Homo-oligomer: A and B are copies of this chain.
Amino acid sequence: MSEKLTIGKLASATGTKVETIRYYEQIGLLPAPARSTGNYRTYEGEHLRRLSFIRRARDLGFSIDQVRELMGLADRREQSCMAVDVIANQHRDAITRKIADLTALAGELDALIDSCSRNTVADCRIIEALGPSDPC
């Protein structure tokens, strides 16, 4: 039940890099585990649970600060989960904006690329479009 894990095992169990785990400990996202006689970190099931949570939230694009907040909320189990909903929705909105921005960008780039006649740089419409109105 209470299996001990080395950092390497925890890393492969969660799909995280060893360095990233040490980084999470350093910034206080993952609690520091006990140490073995040889000064090796020894993780418990709880660490595995927390790190899995972190990984999934990060994979969904939540920032470290958002993850910290979500974990704080997850620990107050009797409270309303409205705050959780708020964070998720904020994140969803940010992604919506990013998609819109990138789509607009893609449109501009497409127009640029379509205009390229693949001749010399001197009459390349891409370079021209990037440069100032000066025809040089």
Which A residues contact B (CB, under 8 angstroms)?
Answer: 48-49, 52-53, 56-57, 60-61, 70, 73-74, 76-82, 84-85, 88-89, 91-92, 95-96, 98-99, 102-103, 105-106, 108-110, 112-113, 116, 118-122, 124, 126-127, 129-132, 134
How many Å from the CB of A89 to the closest CB on chain B? 6
* Complexed CA–CA distance, A124 and B53 (Å): 14
Residues of B contacting A56 with CB < 8 Å? 129-131
Consensus secondary structure, chain A interface: helix
Residues of B contacting A127 with CB < 8 Å? 70, 73-74, 81, 84
Q: Is the CB of B49 within 8 A of A132?
A: yes
A-B residue pairs in contact (CB < 8 Å), sample of 19:
A56-B129, A60-B112, A60-B130, A61-B109, A74-B121, A76-B121, A77-B120, A79-B120, A79-B121, A80-B118, A80-B119, A81-B120, A84-B116, A84-B127, A85-B126, A88-B112, A95-B102, A95-B105, A95-B106
